[in-house]
Amino acid sequence: MFEYAPAPESRSVVDIAGSYGLFIDGSFRESAAGSFKTVNPATEEVLAEVASAGVEEIDLAVAAARRAFGPWSALPGSERAKYLFRIARIIQERSRELAVLESLDNGKPIKESRDVDLPLVAAHFFHYAGWADKLKYAGFGADPRPLGVAAQVIPWNFPLLMLAWKVAPALATGNTVVLKPAETTPLSALFFADICRQADLPPGVVNIVTGAGDTGRALVEHPGVDKVAFTGSTEVGRQIARSVAGTRKRLTLELGGKAANIVFDDAPIDQAVEGIVNGIFFNQGHVCCAGSRLLVQESIRDELLESLKRRMATLRVGDPLDKNTDIGAINSAEQLDRIRTLADAGSAEGAERWSPPCELPGQGFWFAPTIFTGVTQAHRIAREEIFGPVLSVLTFRTPAEAIEKANNTPYGLSAGIWSDKGSLILAVADQLRAGVVWANTFNKFDPASPFGGYKESGYGREGGRHGLEAYLA
């Protein structure tokens, strides 16, 4: 039969140092607060030792950003644009290196970091470079002003892409930033620091401080910060909202999700199956807007599930650096635990669990693509964000029931609708309380399109013209 031979992307394009310091005021420096290790989740191999920023280092970083803010915000927009264009081009030039790095540190398949993440990262910088000299015409007043120093805390699921979403609009609008990447995926942000130097970005405009939750808390709570932007869990988002309450700090939060992917009986079935697979298995399901609840019209349930299972059997789980891998490694042991706990709860609560036969590597953190059928709104796996390759399948009978179930969640980040009937799509989309509604597609991103949540999925928008607002006064 037809077997694909291994097709590994070469690691030699990326040169990872043994240890990394903190990027403050244009140069790397040690931390007095110790260090931590970042590992390759596919092999558990230690990739590098990374400095952990303490209160003292956060002070230094915020001070550097404050010093840089005056001259940076005083630059004409067209001058700031030049730096952003330069950064975007360097990212394109180094995209292969960055893609391999991202797959090594995060566990995501190379085809995704190469074909999705990196092109979007560059596109985001290009997009906001274009806005830098047009802020007066963006609809936020005749003379919109930057806020000052932005504290940005990003998650581990799209390390470099989330950095781009945060840094590009902040710089375009004249703010300076202190960014903390996630503890398990610090490397691409540190490489980005190098790109800032390569682009001759003035020292202090971008500062990268690495560390765990304490570092993030110290940064967010620092009195010298004017703006906090956070992407991550709803739980941490709540803590941050509490901590900035009553301060002058502006806040945007992009939090969890439990998106409904609604398949009507007149849907283009083969493409809907692709959309379901993409919705939940893209990036191992480590996607805040993942279509983790499949709502399928009861009249086509069996047919759709059969197609879905057949399709899932062709998913290739394994070495993230193999060009034919569809599903890579779970990002950390901790996340794997959480996925297992929730999946076990699904079985315990009576849902039927299914995974295609697939052999998982012995080393590293892995979870087979999984679907649960017979799930109801009362199951934990229909309510809680799993953030893994686990799909809960529910059914509905009428459009009204689909809408009701889709909205019956504390979250509201995204949703999907599958139907050949345009009028149905428009009517349903109108009633879904979700920041993004995809029709006959899923997980499509574009820098021009705003992204953000309703309800406990957060507030504020990132991307496009809307994304400027969070960084302007």
**Which one of the listed residues 9, 102, 112, 288 is annotated catalytic?**
288
Tokens of 318: 């394994």
Rounded Cα distance, 262 and 337, in Å: 29
271 versus 341: smaller Cβ distance to other proteins: 271
Residues 452 and 288: their CA atoms lie apart, in Å, by 10
Handedness of CA 291, 383, 462, 168 (dihedral sign): negative
* Cβ-based nearer residue to other proteins, 248 or 316: 316
Q: Considering the complex, state which of residue 5 and residue 245 has its C-beta at the smaller distance from other proteins.
A: 5
Joined together, the tokens standing for residue 210 give 């690495």
Residue with Cβ nearer other proteins (136 or 316): 316
User: Which lies closer to other proteins via its Cβ, residue 30 or residue 115?
Assistant: 115
Q: Which residues contact 298 (CB under 8 A, 6 or more apart)?
A: 395, 396, 397
- Contact, 388 vs 330, CB < 8 A? yes
Catalytic residue among 9, 57, 102, 254: 254
Residue 155, CB half-sphere, CA atoms under 13 Å: how many?
Answer: 20
User: How far is residue 125's CA from residue 85's CA, in Å, rounded to a whole number?
Assistant: 7
Q: 58 and 178 in contact (C-beta within 8 Å)?
A: yes
Minimum gap (Å) between residue 322 Cβ and other proteins: 8
Interface positions with other proteins (CB under 8 A): 1-5, 7, 111, 115, 266-271, 274-275, 314, 323-324, 420, 440-441
Q: Is 288 a catalytic residue?
A: yes
Catalytic residue list contains 358: no
Helix, strand, coil percentages in the chain from 3-state DSSP, rounded to 5: 40, 20, 40
Q: Nearest approach, Cβ of 428 to other proteins (angstroms)?
A: 16
Q: Smallest distance from the beta carbon of 323 to other proteins, in angstroms? A: 4
Alpha-carbon distances of 112 from 77, 107, 385, 396, 456, rounded to whole Å: 33, 11, 22, 33, 28
Residues classed as catalytic: 254, 288
